Structure 1
């Protein structure tokens, strides 16, 4: 379902191939709103643009609104142990990893909803 997807591009490609890309974007917008964080990509955002927007948003949250970043990860249900730790890392690298984990978890939600509503993947 999602464990074999190793980066953001693969997650978005998989969602698009199953015609669930817009569901994934909607799920992102919904969960950001639940975290009280504005994230409103335009309706026809491309996968590359979505990745860049998400990475930029996470980067700003990491640097300027860390409690909101943690709340977002909690609401989306990104497991804490999935985030790399230990070595000192650049904020941009951390934002890229977090954006991938966010997309991966949101994809799992979308895939499960689709599968159990009779969409059959």
Structure 2
């Protein structure tokens, strides 16, 4: 869906319906090969960073940074587990089967990253 929005939205204007379908599938073949592996690398490096950066929780409670990092880690782990299940085990998601929800989580993770250092 994200690829459609950015790159493929203007193709129907210049290509026939059949050409558009073929071009879209050619691009999506490469996207399907790269994205899952990149997602797994992101999750593994995220876990490493989480354990390196989180730090100790003080007596006063977790800091804003720690709270936001925990939220980001939870969302990232959900995305990672979803990706691993789909790619390696062929298990399709039971809930939130659309690509819109994972894309929304990625946007939320990016926004949380911006607020972490305020």
Say whether the fold is shared (TM-score over 0.5). no
- TM-score normalised per structure 1: 0.30
- TM-score normalised per structure 2: 0.30
